Chain A
Amino acid sequence: MSLFRNVPELTLLILLSAACYFAIAIVEPIEASEFFSLGSILSVTLASFVLSVAIAIIAVIAGIGGGVIFTPIVLGFTSFDSLVVRATGLVVAMFSGLISGAPLLKQGLVDIRLVYICALPTIVGGLLGALMAFQFASTMGPSSDAVVRMLLGILLLGVAVLFITGGGRNDYPKASKLSGLARLFSLDMSYYEMSVNTEVKYSVKRLGLAIILFVGVGFIGGFFGLGGGWAMVPVLNLVMAVPLKAAVASSGVLLALGNAAAIWPYMLYGAMVPILVAPWMLGQVIGGIIGAHVLAQVKVVVVRRLMIFLLCLTSFKLIYRGLQDLNFMGGMIL
């Protein structure tokens, strides 16, 4: 309860959302169609909102974008057009990062230098990925959705393996002398680590390699509508030698900035359907605020295990559906 007292804007947003959906339920202006009754439209909207809150909380705690949970599940288990799903996925990936940035920057866990530098290649990659998604859809025609589902399934299996192995985590890399590009930008940093009551100093390494990797991460995030937070933490931690806690915190902020350009093609080419995106955006904002505040009290191991289960299940379903749509497995029912 103290969270709602300490963050009045969160309480206000929850109350406004509840009032809004209550008013919609009372007014009842929507006519039922052969597919949807008024009740089912409201149920879809409310379920999207609640699911989005849950995904945002998990995403902030696990240090990933929500897109990696949303996009595969919706692509795997519904028949929605893949570009529409990927557009909504980018919103899901972005908004929890946008809203959780302020508390993390105030705590000093995120260094704005890192965010501005790493965002540049991510934006370029993300924009290229988003434009390529439309090019791919127009070139491949109806089979593009099946190929996207299959590729995404394979990619997710790789992400699940990364989560299972833990990616060789490096909690507190040793600070060393700056060299190359990192020296040019004076990237020796520090943050206050509350758990050990000390200031942790670190120096960024291999910035050139990281920039190339961020272009790739951005491209995959923009193309599949995943965001890319799942790959940002390993790049920051393992390649750039940023301490794990700072890497997790930075990935969310970086994700929001890095996807800001990739979202425009989806929005301006009409792949973003407002009534579909609205409950997901609201849920991400509310869940993002809650996630940023309860981060310290939750066991991250539980979240990681849940993530691995979801990723494995979804990736198999995606690969199966991709193959089925390409008529490799016609007739079989999962």
Chain B
Amino acid sequence: MSQDSLRQSGIIYGVTIYWLTIAGCVMVLLGSLLALGFGWTVMPVNEQLSVLMQGNALTLSHRIDSGDMLIQLGLGVAIFAIVPAILIGVPRLWRSGFRLIALCGCANVLLIIGAFVVCYVRL
């Protein structure tokens, strides 16, 4: 079993997440500009904040053509970055003999995607 492969897989995991998170950040910034700067939101920003400050829950419709959605998309990109980050490093782990660890990595991916699907379907 090669310790080098293990370390390389770790680095691939970290670096993939790092850059995709930064990409997600840029999307969130753009979404903020559209929502706060151009008022491109599902519900006016001042109304959203007023509802929240009064301690009430807020239900926003998922409209694709809004700054809010771009922010959500940016967050999603950063969170989902974990999936490719694991999947890119797993073959290297498998080939170098860390098969149980590779399987654990895949199980993590399945759980993250599975949780998303279950929540989305229940919604």
Which A residues have a C-beta under 8 Å from some C-beta of B?
Answer: 9, 13, 16-17, 20, 23-24, 27, 29-36, 41-42, 44-45, 78-81, 83-84, 91, 94-95, 98-99, 101-106, 108, 110-113, 115-117, 119-120, 123-124, 127, 145, 184-186, 253, 256-257, 260-265, 267-279, 281-282, 285
Contact = CB atoms under 8 A, between A and B. Distances in A.
A41 B46 contact: yes
Contacts of A117: 101, 104
Contacts of B115: 123, 127, 261-262, 264-265
A185 B1 CA distance: 12
B82 A256 contact: yes
A168 to B, nearest CB: 29
Across the A-B interface, give the 6 residue pairs with the lowest CB-CB distance, nearest first: A102-B14, A261-B115, A112-B10, A274-B71, A105-B14, A33-B46
Given A281-B28, A281-B75, A24 B33 contact: yes
Contacts of B59: 270
Contact of A275 (B13, B32, B54): B32
A124 B111 contact: yes
A23 B33 contact: yes
Given A16-B29, A80-B55, A95-B78, A102 B44 contact: no
B7 A41 contact: no
Given A110-B10, A112-B6, A257-B82, A31 B46 contact: yes
A119 B109 CA distance: 11
A108 B11 CA distance: 9
A45 B17 CA distance: 26
Interface residues of B, number: 74
Interface of A is mostly: helix
Nearest to B103: A116
B92 to A, nearest CB: 10
Contacts of B74: 281
B99 to A, nearest CB: 10
Contacts of A31: 44, 46
Contacts of B67: 274-275
Interface string B55-74: 11111100000011101101
A61 B30 CA distance: 29
B75 A257 contact: no
A285 B21 contact: yes
Contact of A112 (B50, B101, B116): B101
9 contacts: A31-B44, A98-B18, A101-B14, A115-B13, A124-B111, A261-B111, A261-B114, A274-B71, A275-B67
Interface of B: 1, 6-7, 9-11, 13-15, 17-18, 21-22, 24-26, 28-33, 35-39, 41, 44-50, 52-60, 67-69, 71-72, 74-76, 78-79, 81-82, 86, 89, 93, 98, 100-101, 104-105, 107-108, 111-112, 114-116, 119-120, 123
A103 B14 CA distance: 8
Contacts of A108: 7
A106 B120 CA distance: 35
Nearest to B41: A275
Nearest to B59: A270
Contacts of B71: 274-275, 277-278
Nearest to A185: B100
Contacts of B58: 81, 84, 270, 273
B31 A113 contact: no
Given A20-B29, A41-B45, A44-B49, 8 more contacts: A36-B50, A45-B36, A79-B55, A112-B7, A119-B108, A123-B108, A123-B111, A123-B115
B80 to A, nearest CB: 8
A35 B47 CA distance: 9
